[in-house]
Amino acid sequence: MSKVKLIVGLGNPGPEYQSTRHNAGAIFVENLASHFNTSLKFEAKFFGFCGRLSIQGQDVRLLIPTTYMNNSGKAVSALATFFKILPDEILVAYDELDFPPGVAKLKIGGSSTQNGIKDIVKSLANQKGFLRLRIGIGHPGDRSKVTGHVLSKAPDAQHNKMLLAIEHAISCTPVIVNDDFKAAQQELHSFKAE
């Protein structure tokens, strides 16, 4: 892995989606920007809200696409191409049905059923080797209920657990950015919000 130069938070645009489970990635980047006292501003040429910060001397760009989730690759490829950022220098944060709220896990590459991730892979010429921060939102138990589940806000107790996992992931971000994947993974994976 290389040092992270771009952190992307996936979600859907508009106030109706702002606090939904599907916007867990966008919430992570919003909170990360706030933690580092960095503002995000809309950049039309990158199809999203962008920011820039320094984490332990490493220059890092932030991006929340304003395309819908299924077209996230458009924003990611536009920004990555402009700044010459390679796929293995990108971290993408997104909601994960397979983990309960309160859990966040890190992985490199691999396949995913998450539509935003699939579109990013496609937009990066099928290169899958970017980092993924998977933020648990839980599964509704039945496949037919998934769409309604991800597009709604979790009950307060679950939402608060998700926010605690995001807060812990933010505290691990300096380790992630500076390319100590194993240490970041160990620190992140040992946490579960109760």
CA-based end-to-end distance of the chain? 32
Q: Establish whether 22 is a catalytic residue.
A: yes
Per DSSP, the residues of 126-179 read T---SEEEEEE----SSGGGHHHHHTSPPPHHHHHHHHHHHHHHHHHHHHHHTT
User: pLDDT tens, position by position, for the chain (194 residues)?
Assistant: 679 999 999 999 999 999 999 999 999 999 999 999 999 999 999 999 999 999 988 999 999 999 999 999 999 999 999 999 999 999 999 999 999 999 999 999 988 888 899 999 999 999 999 999 999 999 999 999 999 999 999 999 999 999 999 999 999 999 989 878 888 899 888 888 87
Instruction: Sketch the domain layout of the chain as residue ranges.
Output: 6-189
> Any idea which architecture 6-189 has in CATH?
3-Layer(aba) Sandwich (3.40)
pLDDT at residue 1, as a whole number: 60
Positive or negative, the Cα torsion across 126, 132, 137, 140?
Answer: positive
